[in-house]
C-alpha cells in the first residue's frame, strides 16, 4: 500500500477500514542467506538496503523484543554531519545525504526537519577548533557557517548573552542538520524492508551463534535454530553480550545517556542548540516538547535509566544558557545504553569469523547514522568489501593505532567521549 | 547511587569520577606486546551484571576505589581502596 | 456552584482571582479548579489535537484537562494544573491552546476533520513535494501543537535545591502513610513524611469516611498534630516525591504555600534530594475513567474527584448529576451527593448484579453510550437491556475502578504485576531496594486495610533498622470490600477517549493494532497514548485493555509500559536551581585579578579561571595595538604576567624521582637539585596528556607544574598512578596551585627588575638558565625559577598567595619604570608562537610526542605511562601530521587558526587535506603573521610552499613551511 495524502483522505471518507499492517509478523524460516541480529534502526536499515540496493531479500531481522525498542526509540532525534576527522566526516556526510529524501525513498514521513544545528563556542580556542571542524565539513562537501556573537544572537536571541557563565563567543551553524521523528525511522525502514520480502521477526532472542571452522553457519534463537550464510551483529547496547556468543571481546563499554522531554509548549526553540561547556543540547519537537540531554551518567550500566546528578547537571546547564526555559516542566526522562568505543567513533567491519559482520560502537551518534550505517553495512555484507564512506570504521584501529578518530581528544577511556 | 568509600563512608556518587573496569589495575609489562596492551586499554568483558570498576573520590578524600556493583540493577556491593587491591597483589 | 455549607474551606476569607480576564471569587482553601467549579466555569481548556472544549476532570496532579497559564510577562507560567493551584489573591489564570478565544477556537475545525487525523496519519502524508515539509507542513503543525506558551523572557523566579537525609521516607500522608509515620516515629526513627497535597490526609479529606469515630479529615488533623510534636518526624506538605533513584535516593519537588506567591525573596519551588535508608510508598490510588462516545465533554469527571469537590470544597459541578461506574465507589458517590443535597438524576452501574438502597433512579447492567452537549454536558445516552435511554444531566461522574499509584516502584526498571481480582496492576515486591508499599498503592483499598498496612509497614521498617516499635492501636474504620467488574470501553460508534490530553481514542488504539503496532510500546508511540502531561495516569491501563482486546490477548500478556521519573513534571528551574547566571560553575580568580581589572584588562575565561587578555593603555584603540606593545616590552625590556593558574603540585618523598619518571616520558630522577626540567606527560594510550616544568628543590622534593586546563586531570592521574599502579612508591603530593601566586618576569631587563626586589640579588651563577631555588623577596620567603615561555631571559617568581596582589603591583610598577609593564594572554600567546612553544591548541589529545617532534624525549632507560602504546605502528608511521611553523607568502598576509592546508594547485577537499593550523599570531618582532600547525610529514617539508584555505572565514593564502621555532632557534636570548 502506498501512503499519500490522497490515501489518508480516501480512507478517512470510508471509515479508515482499509489500512493494513505496516509490516508482517512471519514465522522464522529455518534458513536465510543473511540473518541480521537486532531490529533497531541500524538492523532494519541494513535489511532495507540489502533488499533495495543489492537485491538480497532472503534476509531475516531477529529482534528479541519489539522493533525499534532500543536506542532508535530512545534518543534526542538529532541528525547532523558536522564532524572534524576523516572517517567520521565522509561517513556522516554519506548518511546525511541518505536522510535527505528518506521520506520519498521509504514512502514514510519520518519528519526529517533540517532546522539547523548550532554549536556554541565559549573561547577563542574553541572558536578556532570550530573553524577547523567547519572547514573540514566544507572540505567534505557539507555545509558549515561560523557565526560571531551577533550572528548567534540573531539566530537564538533567547540565550542569556549577558550573564551566562561561559560567554558566547560564536557558533558553528550546520543548516542541513536537524531532527527526525525517531520511531518513524525504524517503522519506515521496517515497512520498506518487509515490502521487499525481508522477514522481520520480533520476540526472537538470539541465544547462540553457530560457527564451524571459522565460518558462521547460523544462529540459535528462542524460536529455534536458523541457518544463515552470513550473520550481522547490529545490537547497540548489547554488542558485548552478542559478540561473546562468537567468542569475541569488543572494545566497548556500555554507558547510560539520559534524555529529557518537557510538557508541550508553543514553538520557542527553532533549531538544535548545543552548549559545549555544559554538555547540553536541546531542540523542540513538532509536538511542542523541549527535548534535551547532556553527558553520560559516567558509569558502566545496562539499566536504561539514569540518576539525579547528571539530570541536575543538564538542567543547570539549561539554566545558565537559556533561563528562558526555566518554567518548562520536565515530563519524562529516559536512558539509552550507549556502546562507548575507545575513541568515541563507530565500527562497521568484518570479524575474524568468516561471514560474521559487526556494527557497533556508535556511542551517542547512532541515530543520525541509521541510514548510513545500514547502507554501508549492507554493502559490506553483500559485496564483502567496505563501502568507501565506511572503510575507516575498522575494528583493528585501536590495536594498530592507524586511523583513530578521537574527536574529543580524550583518549582511550570509553566514558570520556 | 551511593558509594561506600572506605575512608569517608557512604557518599553520593556525584562526589566521584569513574574510570572503567578494574582490570586497569593489571598494567601489562612494558614488553608484553601489542595484543596484551590492546586488551588492557581497549577490550572489555563489559558484563551485564556484577562488575568491579574504578571510582575516584575527587570531591572527597582523593582515594581511588575498586567498587563492586551490578551494571543492571545498580546495586553497590562494596568498595575497597585500589591501593589495597594493587598492594595485596604485589 | 458552591454548596451552602460544609467543606474544608474558610468562608470568612474571600479571595479574588481572574480567569481569562473575568474576575471571580473563591475562599481560602480552594484550588483554582474548585473555585472555577464554584463559579460554574465549565470549559477550562482545549484539547491538544482536536481542540475540543474540556472541563475539570480530576482533583489532583493527574489532571489532564484543566491546564492553565498563570501570570504574565516573565512570571508567565504555562501548563499549571488548576487542580493543584491553591488560590491566592490576585491570581491571574488564562486558558491555553486556543485562538482567538476559549469559547471560539478556530482550530476546533480539526475536530470535524477527525476522520483524516487518526493515529499516525502524519506518517503517511505531508511527503510531497519534499521541500514543503520544512516550509509549509511542519511550521503549521508546530504552531498548532504545544499547549501553553513560555514567555520568552528569562526566568525571574528564585528556586532552590536541598539535600535531606532520614531513616525513613514515607511517601503519602493518607491513612497508611500517617500510621506508618506514627509507628516509625514512635520507634525513634528519623522520619520524613512527604505529601503532595497542601493538607495531609489523602482521600480522608475527600470522603465522608469516619476513622476512630470522628470524621476522617479531623482524625488526620489530629494525627498530624501528634506527628508534629515529635522532633524526629518532619512533615513536608506540598511535596511530591518525583522519582526513586539508586541507593535510596529520592527526588522531591516542594511547592510554596499560596501566601508565598508574589514574594520575590521566597523560593517558588525547592527540589529535594532525599537520601533515605528505607522508604514506604503510601501514595494511594488513582481512579480511572471508562471510555465511551464523547466521554470528554465538560461536565464529565471522575467520581472520586466529584466527591472531593463536594466534600472538601463544598462545590458541585452540576445541578442534576449522574453517576456511572463498574464498582461500589459509584454508590458511595451517590450517597455523598445525596447527603450534600445534590440532585442525582441516575446511577448507572455496569454490573448486572448491582443493587442499592439509595433513593436514586438506578440502571444495573447498563452502560453510558454517549455524552451530549458541545460546550458542556447536557444529557447522556444509556444502553439498557430494553434500549437506549436519554437522561438530562449536567455532570456525569465516572468510576472505572482504581489503579494503585505504583509509579515510583517502576522507576528503577521493574514492571508491576497484573491482579485479576482488582483488575489493576499492583507493585512487585522489592521493586525498589529499601522501599515497601502500603495501602491503596499496594491494592489495599479499604480504610481499615490502609491503616493496618501503614502500621505493619512502620513496624517492619523499625525492626529492619534495629528499633522496637511500640504497640499501636489500630483506629476503627470501614472495611468495605472492593467489588469491581472490569469495564474499559463501552462498545459503539463514535470516538471514545482514552488519553484526553493527547486526544487518543479507542479507534486509534484499534487502528494501531490493525496496522501491527501490537506491542504496547508500539501502540503508545504510534498513537501518542500516555505521552501527554499526565503521562498516562488516567489512561494507560484502559488503553492497554483496549489493545489486549483488539489483539485477542490478555492484559498481562500485552504488558505494560514503564513509568519513568518524574512522577509529576518538574520545572527545569527547580532541578537546575542555582545555576542561572554565573552559578553554573565556580569562578576562580588569581591574586592579581583586582589589579588587572583596575588596569582595564578584559578578563577572559581560562577553564574556570579568569585571566587578563591585555592591558590597554591610553591611545590604544584595538587589542592588537596593546598586544603588539606588550610583546615588544618583553622582547626589549621586561614584562610581568600572572601564571598562577598553572597547576602547581608539590611532590615529596624518597621515591619522588622514580614517581616522576613513571609519570613523565623523560627522566626526572637524574635532575639535579636546584634545576628545572621540561617534562612531557603521555596518556596510557600514547598520546600527549600535558606538559610543564618541574623543579627539584631538594633531594626528595619536587614542584611540578601543569597547564591551566589540565591541572585537575593531571592530579587525578597522579593519584591513580600512585594509588592504583605504584603504591610501593614512597611519595606524597598535593596541589598547591592556590597556595602560591606566581608571576612570569620576562625580558632582557627581567633580572634587573627582580634584583631590585630580592634581598639577595641573583646572577647567572646562582640562577643559571633552568635554575631554581628559594629567594627572599622584600622579606618574604619565595621561590624563583629561571624558566621562559617567551624565549627571553625570564623568571617565574612565586610567593605565598597572600602576598600575590602586592607583589604583582610592585612588579608592574617597577617594570613600567623600566619601559615594560604587565602583559596578558594575547601577548603571551604571540611570544610562545614565535618560539614554537606548544599549548593545548597543539596537544589537543590526538597528538603524540612523535607528532610534535619530541619522540626522542621518551626515555629508553625506563618504563613510563604511555610508552608501550606510543610505539603502536599507527602512532609513529609516515603520513602522520607533524608540528610545523607557517609564514604567509601569498598576497594575503593573514593566517587563521582552523584553516586547512593543501598542496599548491590542489582543490580544497577532504581527499587532498594535508593538515591544519592550530595557533596564529601577528609577530610584531618579525612584522608578519606566524602560525603553528600540523602538516603531513611536515618535518621533512620545511621550505615548501603550501596553500591555506579557511572557507568559513573566507581567507585563502599560500604559506611557507618552516621550523616551529622561528625566533632565536639557538636559544641564546633565554640563556644570556
**Cell output for C322:** 449522574
Position of cell 542538520?
A: A177
Answer whether C923's CB lies under 8 Å from C846's CB.
Answer: no
Residues 6 or more apart whose Cβ sits within 8 Å of residue C22: none
* CATH code, domain carrying B9: 3.30.2270.10
Region B65-71 average pLDDT? 98
Q: Kindly tell me if the per-residue pLDDT of B88 is higher than 70.
A: no
Count CB atoms within 10 A of the CB of residue C322: 30
Dump pLDDT digits (tens) for A226-247: 999 999 999 999 999 999 999 9
Handedness of CA C416, C418, C422, C428 (dihedral sign): negative
Region A327-339 average pLDDT? 95
A312 vs C123, C533, C576: nearest CB: C576
Interface test with C, best of A2, A122, A319 (most C CBs within 10 A): A319
To the nearest whole angstrom, how far is the Cα of C724 from the nearest Cα of chain B? 5
Architecture of the C160-285+404-464 domain = 3-Layer(bba) Sandwich (3.50)
Region A21-30 average pLDDT? 97
The confidence score (pLDDT) of residue C561 equals: 72
Q: For the packed helices A182-195 and A41-54, what is the interaxial angle rounded to 10 degrees?
A: 40
To the nearest whole angstrom, how far is the Cα of C273 from the nearest Cα of chain B? 10
The confidence score (pLDDT) of residue C256 equals: 84
The per-residue DSSP string of chain B comes to -EEEETTTEEEEGGG-EEEEEGGGGSPPPTTS-HHHHHHHHT-----SSEEEEEEE-TTTT--EEEEEEETTT--EEEEEEHHHHHHHH-
SS3 state of residue C410 = helix
Q: Which is more confidently placed, C800 or C386?
A: C800
Residues 6 or more apart whose Cβ sits within 8 Å of residue C553: none
Dump pLDDT digits (tens) for A335-384: 999 999 999 999 999 999 999 999 999 999 999 999 999 999 999 999 99
Q: What is the dihedral of CA C164, C169, C174, C177, to 10 degrees?
A: -150
Q: Kindly tell me if the per-residue pLDDT of C262 is higher than 80.
A: no
Q: What is the dihedral of CA A161, A167, A173, A179, to 10 degrees?
A: -70
Interchain contact, B1 vs C249, CB within 8 Å: yes
Altogether, the residues listed in chain A come to a count of 417
Q: How many percent of chain C have pLDDT more than 70?
A: 100
Print the domain residue range for B14.
2-85
**How would you label C327-343 residue by residue, b for 16+ Cβ within 10 Å and e otherwise?**
bbbbbbbbbbbeebebe
* Residues forming a β-bridge with C80: C68
Average pLDDT, chain C: 96
Residue A123 contacts B where some CB pair is shorter than 8 Å: no
Answer whether C698's CB lies under 8 Å from C692's CB.
Answer: no
Query: How far, in Å, CA of C214 to CA of C9, rounded?
Result: 19
Answer whether C321's CB lies under 8 Å from C343's CB.
Answer: yes
The confidence score (pLDDT) of residue B90 equals: 52
* Residues forming a β-bridge with C597: none
Across chain A, how many H-helices and E-strands are there? Answer: 11, 18
The structure's pTM equals: 0.97
CA-closest candidate to residue A165, choices A115, A123, A118? A123
Answer whether A209's CB lies under 8 Å from A245's CB.
Answer: yes
CA-closest candidate to residue C862, choices C652, C656, C669, C651? C669
Q: How many domains does chain B have?
A: 1
| Residues of chain C found within 8 Å of residue A90, distances taken between Cβ atoms | 910
Query: How far, in Å, CA of C253 to CA of C251, rounded?
Result: 7
The confidence score (pLDDT) of residue C885 equals: 98
Q: Kindly tell me if the per-residue pLDDT of C935 is higher than 80.
A: yes
Q: Is residue B17 domain-resident?
A: yes
Answer whether B76's CB lies under 8 Å from B69's CB.
Answer: yes
Answer whether C305's CB lies under 8 Å from C57's CB.
Answer: yes
Q: Which CATH number fits domain C624-831: 3.30.1360.120, 2.60.40.420, 3.20.20.70, 3.30.470.20?
A: 3.30.1360.120
Q: Kindly tell me if the per-residue pLDDT of C476 is higher than 90.
A: yes
SS3 state of residue A153 = helix
Altogether, the residues listed in chain C come to a count of 976
Residue B17 contacts A where some CB pair is shorter than 8 Å: yes
To the nearest whole angstrom, how far is the Cα of B44 from the nearest Cα of chain A? 6
Dump pLDDT digits (tens) for A161-171: 999 999 999 99
Same fold, C160-285+404-464 and C289-400: yes
What's the Cα-to-Cα distance from A314 to each of A225, A407, B59, B74, C709, rounded to whole Å?
A: 45, 22, 19, 21, 22
Could you say which residues from 132 to 161 on chain A have a Cβ atom under 8 Å away from some Cβ of chain C? 132-136, 138-141, 144-146, 158, 160
Interchain contact, B73 vs A299, CB within 8 Å: no
| Residues of chain A found within 8 Å of residue C157, distances taken between Cβ atoms | 326-327
Q: How far is CA C89 from the centre of its chain?
A: 33
* Residues forming a β-bridge with C743: C642, C797
Residues 6 or more apart whose Cβ sits within 8 Å of residue C619: none
To the nearest whole angstrom, how far is the Cα of A152 from the nearest Cα of chain C? 15
Its CATH class, for the domain covering C289-400, is alpha beta
Dump pLDDT digits (tens) for C324-364: 999 999 999 999 999 999 999 999 999 999 999 999 999 99
The confidence score (pLDDT) of residue C122 equals: 95
**Cell output for C883:** 608540528
* DSSP label of A342: T
Interface test with B, best of C868, C871, C875, C876 (most B CBs within 10 A): C868
**Cell output for C146:** 504545544
Interchain contact, B19 vs C723, CB within 8 Å: no
Query: How far, in Å, CA of C208 to CA of C311, rounded?
Result: 7
A19 vs C413, C514, C918: nearest CB: C514
Answer whether C413's CB lies under 8 Å from C428's CB.
Answer: no
SS3 state of residue C558 = helix
Position of cell 546547564?
A: A317
Answer whether C578's CB lies under 8 Å from A313's CB.
Answer: no
Position of cell 625506563?
A: C862
Dump pLDDT digits (tens) for A378-404: 999 999 999 999 999 999 999 999 999
Query: How far, in Å, CA of C549 to CA of C408, rounded?
Result: 28
Query: How far, in Å, CA of C562 to CA of C545, rounded?
Result: 16
CB-count burial class (<10 Å; 0-12, 13-18, 19+) for B9: exposed
Q: Is residue B50 domain-resident?
A: yes
* Residues forming a β-bridge with C919: C932
**Domain spans of chain C, in order of start:** 10-117, 160-285+404-464, 289-400, 624-831, 878-976
**Cell output for C296:** 470528554
Position of cell 489523602?
A: C202
List the CATH code of the domain at C10-117.
3.10.20.440
Q: What phi and psi values does residue C67 have, to the nearest 5 degrees?
A: -100, 125
C878-976 is a CATH 2.40.30.110 domain: yes
Q: Is residue B90 domain-resident?
A: no
3-class secondary structure per residue, C351-405: CCCCCCCCCCCEEECCEEEEEECCCCCCEEEEEECCEEEEEECCEEEEECCEEEC
SS3 state of residue C139 = helix
The confidence score (pLDDT) of residue C324 equals: 98
Amino acid at each position: 500500500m502506498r501512503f499519500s495524502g490522497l490515501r489518508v483522505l480516501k480512507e478517512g471518507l470510508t471509515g479508515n477500514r482499509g489500512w493494513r499492517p505496516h509490516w508482517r509478523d512471519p514465522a522464522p524460516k529455518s534458513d536465510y542467506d543473511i540473518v541480521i541480529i537486532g531490529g533497531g534502526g541500524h538492523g532494519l536499515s541494513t535489511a532495507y538496503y540489502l533488499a533495495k540496493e543489492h537485491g538480497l531479500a532472503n534476509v531475516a531481522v531477529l529482534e528479541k523484543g519489539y522493533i525499534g525498542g532500543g536506542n532508535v526509540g530512545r534518543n534526542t532525534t538529532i541528525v547532523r554531519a558536522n564532524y572534524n576527522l576523516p572517517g567520521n566526516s565522509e561517513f556522516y556526510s554519506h548518511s546525511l545525504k541518505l536522510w535527505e529524501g528518506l521520506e520519498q525513498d521509504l514512502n514514510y514521513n519520518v519528519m526529517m526537519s533540517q532546522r539547523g544545528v548550532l554549536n556554541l563556542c565559549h573561547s577563542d580556542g574553541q572558536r578556532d577548533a570550530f573553524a577547523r571542524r567547519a572547514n573540514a565539513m566544507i572540505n567534505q562537501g557539507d555545509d558549515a557557517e561560523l557565526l560571531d556573537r551577533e550572528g548567534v544572537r540573531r539566530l537564538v536571541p533567547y540565550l542569556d548573552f549577558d550573564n551566562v557563565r561561559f560567554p558566547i563567543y560564536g557558533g558553528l551553524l550546520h543548516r542541513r542538520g536537524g531532527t527526525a521523528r525517531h520511531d518513524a525511522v525504524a517503522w519506515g525502514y521496517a515497512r520498506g524492508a518487509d515490502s521487499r520480502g525481508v522477514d522481520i521477526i520480533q520476540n526472537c532472542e538470539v541465544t547462540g551463534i553457530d560457527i564451524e571452522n571459522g565460518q558462521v553457519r547460523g544462529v540459535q534463537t528462542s524460536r529455534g535454530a536458523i541457518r544463515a550464510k552470513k550473520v550481522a551483529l547490529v545490537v547497540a547496547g548489547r554488542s558485548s553480550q552478542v559478540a561473546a556468543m562468537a567468542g569475541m571481546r569488543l572494545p566497548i563499554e556500555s554507558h547510560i545517556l539520559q534524555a529529557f522531554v518537557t510538557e508541550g509548549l508553543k514553538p520557542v526553540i527553532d533549531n538544535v542548540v548545543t552548549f559545549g561547556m555544559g554538555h547540553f543540547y536541546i531542540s523542540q519537537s513538532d509536538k511542542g516538547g523541549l527535548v534535551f540531554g547532556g553527558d553520560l551518567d559516567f558509569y558502566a550500566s545496562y539499566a536504561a535509566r539514569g540518576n539525579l546528578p547528571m539530570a541536575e547537571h543538564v538542567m543547570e546547564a539549561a539554566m545558565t544558557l537559556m533561563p528562558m526555559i526555566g518554567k518548562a516542566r520536565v515530563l519524562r526522562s529516559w536512558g539509552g545504553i550507549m556502546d562507548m568505543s575507545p575513541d568515541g567513533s563507530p565500527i562497521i567491519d568484518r570479524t575474524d569469523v568468516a561471514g560474521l559482520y559487526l556494527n557497533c560502537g556508535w556511542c551517542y551518534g547512532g541515530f543520525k547514522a541509521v541510514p548510513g550505517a545500514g547502507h554501508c553495512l549492507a554493502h559490506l555484507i553483500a559485496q564483502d568489501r567496505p563501502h568507501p564512506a565506511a572503510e575507516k570504521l575498522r575494528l583493528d584501529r585501536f590495536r594498530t593505532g592507524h586511523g583513530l578518530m578521537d574527536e574529543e581528544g580524550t583518549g582511550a577511556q570509553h566514558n570520556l567521549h | 547511587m551511593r558509594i561506600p568509600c572506605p575512608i569517608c563512608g557512604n557518599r553520593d556518587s556525584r562526589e566521584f569520577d569513574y574510570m572503567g573496569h578494574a582490570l586497569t589495575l593489571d598494567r601489562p609489562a612494558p614488553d608484553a606486546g601489542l595484543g596484551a596492551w590492546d586488551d588492557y586499554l581497549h577490550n572489555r568483558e563489559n558484563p551485564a551484571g556484577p562488575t568491579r570498576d574504578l571510582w575516584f573520590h575527587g570531591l572527597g578524600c582523593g582515594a581511588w576505589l575498586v567498587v563492586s556493583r551490578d551494571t543492571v540493577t545498580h546495586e553497590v556491593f562494596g568498595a575497597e581502596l585500589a591501593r589495597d587491591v594493587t598492594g595485596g597483589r604485589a | 456552584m458552591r454548596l451552602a455549607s460544609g467543606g474544608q474551606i474558610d468562608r470568612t476569607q474571600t479571595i479574588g482571582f481572574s480567569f481569562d480576564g473575568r474576575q471571580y471569587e473563591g475562599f481560602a482553601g480552594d484550588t483554582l479548579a474548585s473555585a472555577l467549579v464554584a463559579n460554574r466555569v465549565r470549559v477550562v481548556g482545549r484539547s491538544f489535537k482536536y481542540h475540543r472544549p474540556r472541563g475539570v476532570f480530576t482533583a489532583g496532579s493527574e489532571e489532564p484537562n484543566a491546564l492553565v497559564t498563570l501570570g504574565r510577562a516573565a512570571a508567565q507560567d504555562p501548563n499549571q494544573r488548576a487542580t493543584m493551584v491553591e488560590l491566592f489573591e490576585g491570581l491571574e489564570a488564562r486558558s491555553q491552546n486556543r485562538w482567538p478565544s476559549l469559547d471560539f477556537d478556530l482550530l476546533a475545525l480539526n475536530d470535524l476533520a477527525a476522520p483524516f487525523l487518526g493515529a499516525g496519519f502524519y506518517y503517511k502524508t505531508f511527503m510531497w513535494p519534499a521541500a514543503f515539509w520544512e516550509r509549509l507542513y511542519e511550521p503549521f503543525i508546530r504552531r498548532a501543537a504545544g499547549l501553553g506558551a513560555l514567555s520568552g523572557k528569562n526566568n525571574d523566579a528564585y528556586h532552590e535545591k536541598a539535600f535531606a537525609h532520614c531513616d525513613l521516607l514515607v511517601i503519602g500522608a493518607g491513612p497508611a502513610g500517617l500510621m506508618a509515620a506514627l509507628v516509625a516515629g514512635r520507634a525513634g526513627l528519623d522520619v520524613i513524611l512527604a505529601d503532595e497535597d497542601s493538607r495531609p490526609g489523602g482521600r480522608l479529606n475527600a470522603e465522608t469516611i469516619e476513622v476512630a469515630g470522628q470524621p476522617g479529615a479531623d482524625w488526620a488533623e489530629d494525627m498530624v498534630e501528634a506527628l508534629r510534636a515529635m522532633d524526629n518526624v518532619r512533615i513536608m506538605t506540598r511535596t511530591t516525591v518525583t522519582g526513586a533513584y539508586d541507593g535510596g535516593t529520592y527526588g522531591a519537588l516542594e511547592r510554596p504555600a499560596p501566601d508565598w506567591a508574589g514574594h520575590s525573596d521566597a523560593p517558588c519551588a525547592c527540589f529535594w534530594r532525599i537520601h533515605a535508608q528505607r522508604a514506604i510508598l503510601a501514595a494511594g490510588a488513582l481512579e480511572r475513567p471508562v471510555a465511551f462516545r464523547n466521554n470528554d465533554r465538560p461536565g464529565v469527571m471522575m467520581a472520586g474527584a466529584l466527591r472531593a469537590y463536594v466534600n472538601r470544597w463544598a462545590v458541585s459541578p452540576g445541578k442534576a448529576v449522574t453517576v456511572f461506574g463498574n464498582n461500589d465507589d459509584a454508590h458511595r458517590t451517590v450517597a455523598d451527593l445525596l447527603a450534600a443535597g445534590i440532585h442525582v438524576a441516575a446511577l448507572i452501574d455496569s454490573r448486572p448484579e448491582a443493587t442499592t438502597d439509595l433513593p436514586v433512579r438506578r440502571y444495573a447492567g447498563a452502560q453510558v453510550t454517549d455524552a451530549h452537549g458541545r460546550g458542556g454536558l447536557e444529557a447522556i445516552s444509556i444502553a439498557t437491556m430494553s434500549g437506549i435511554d436519554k437522561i438530562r444531566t449536567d455532570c456525569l461522574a465516572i468510576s472505572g475502578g482504581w489503579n494503585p499509584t505504583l509509579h515510583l516502584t517502576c522507576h528503577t526498571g521493574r514492571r508491576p504485576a497484573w491482579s485479576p481480582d482488582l483488575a489493576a496492576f499492583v507493585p512487585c515486591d522489592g521493586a525498589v531496594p529499601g522501599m515497601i508499599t502500603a495501602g491503596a498503592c499496594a491494592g489495599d483499598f479499604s480504610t481499615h486495610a490502609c491503616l493496618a498496612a501503614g502500621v505493619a509497614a512502620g513496624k517492619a521498617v523499625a525492626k529492619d533498622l534495629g528499633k522496637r516499635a511500640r504497640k499501636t492501636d489500630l483506629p476503627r474504620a470501614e472495611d468495605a470490600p472492593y467489588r469491581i467488574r472490569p469495564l474499559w470501553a463501552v462498545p459503539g460508534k463514535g470516538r471514545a477517549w482514552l488519553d484526553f490530553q493527547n486526544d487518543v481514542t479507542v479507534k486509534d488504539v484499534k487502528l494501531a493494532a490493525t496496522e501491527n503496532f501490537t506491542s504496547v510500546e508500539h501502540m503508545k508511540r504510534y498513537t501518542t497514548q500516555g505521552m501527554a502531561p499526565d503521562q498516562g495516569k488516567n489512561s494507560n491501563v484502559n488503553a492497554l485493555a483496549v489493545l489486549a482486546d483488539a489483539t485477542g490477548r490478555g492484559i498481562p500478556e500485552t504488558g505494560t509500559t514503564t513509568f519513568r521519573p518524574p512522577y509529576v513534571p518538574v520545572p527545569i528551574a527547580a532541578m537546575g536551581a542555582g545555576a542561572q547566571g554565573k552559578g553554573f560553575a565556580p569562578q576562580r580568580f588569581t591574586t592579581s585579578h583586582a589589579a588587572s581589572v583596575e588596569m582595564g584588562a578584559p578578563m577572559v575565561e581560562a577553564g574556570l579561571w579568569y585571566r587578563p587578555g591585555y592591558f590597554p593603555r591610553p591611545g590604544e584603540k584595538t587589542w592588537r595595538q596593546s598586544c603588539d606593545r606588550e610583546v615588544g616590552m618583553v622582547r626589549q625590556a621586561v614584562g610581568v604576567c600572572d601564571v598562577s593558574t598553572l597547576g602547581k603540585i608539590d611532590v615529596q618523598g624518597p621515591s619522588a624521582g622514580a614517581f616522576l619518571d613513571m609519570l613523565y616520558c623523560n627522566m626526572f630522577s637524574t635532575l639535579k637539585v636546584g634545576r628545572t626540567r621540561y617534562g612531557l606527560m603521555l596518556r596510557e594510550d600514547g598520546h600527549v596528556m600535558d606538559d610543564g616544568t618541574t623543579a627539584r628543590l631538594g633531594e626528595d622534593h619536587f614542584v611540578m607544574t601543569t597547564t591551566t586546563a589540565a591541572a585537575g586531570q593531571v592530579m587525578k592521574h597522579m593519584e591513580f598512578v600512585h594509588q592504583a599502579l605504584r603504591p610501593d612508591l614512597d611519595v606524597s603530593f598535593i596541589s598547591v596551585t592556590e597556595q602560591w601566586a606566581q608571576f612570569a618576569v620576562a625580558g632582557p631587563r627581567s633580572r634587573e627588575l627582580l634584583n631590585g626586589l630580592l634581598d639577595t640579588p641573583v646572577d647567572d651563577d646562582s640562577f643559571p638558565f633552568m635554575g631554581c631555588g628559594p629567594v627572599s623577596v622584600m622579606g618574604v620567603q619565595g621561590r624563583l625559577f629561571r624558566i621562559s615561555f617567551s624565549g627571553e631571559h625570564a623568571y617565574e617568581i612565586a610567593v605565598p598567595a597572600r602576598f600575590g596582589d602586592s607583589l604583582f603591583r610592585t612588579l608592574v610598577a617597577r617594570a613600567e619604570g623600566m619601559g615594560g609593564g604587565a602583559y596578558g594572554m594575547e601577548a603571551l600567546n604571540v611570544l610562545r608562537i614565535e618560539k614554537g612553544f606548544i599549548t593545548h591548541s597543539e596537544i589537543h589529545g590526538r597528538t603524540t610526542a612523535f607528532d610534535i617532534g619530541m619522540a626522542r624525549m621518551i626515555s629508553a632507560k625506563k618504563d613510563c605511562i604511555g610508552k608501550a602504546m606510543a610505539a603502536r605502528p599507527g602512532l609513529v608511521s609516515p603520513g602522520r601530521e607533524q608540528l610545523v611553523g607557517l609564514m604567509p607568502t601569498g598576497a594575503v598576509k593573514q593566517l587563521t587558526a582552523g584553516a586547512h592546508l593543501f598542496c599548491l594547485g590542489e582543490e580544497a577537499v577532504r581527499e587532498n587535506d594535508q593538515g591544519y593550523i592550530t595557533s596564529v599570531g601577528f609577530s610584531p618582532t618579525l612584522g608578519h603573521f606566524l602560525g603553528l600547525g600540523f602538516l603531513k610529514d611536515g618535518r621533512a617539508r620545511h621550505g615548501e610552499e603550501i596553500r591555506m584555505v579557511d572557507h568559513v572565514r573566507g581567507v585563502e593564502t599560500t604559506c611557507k613551511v618552516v621550523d616551529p621555532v622561528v625566533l632565536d632557534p639557538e636559544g641564546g636570548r633565554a640563556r644570556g
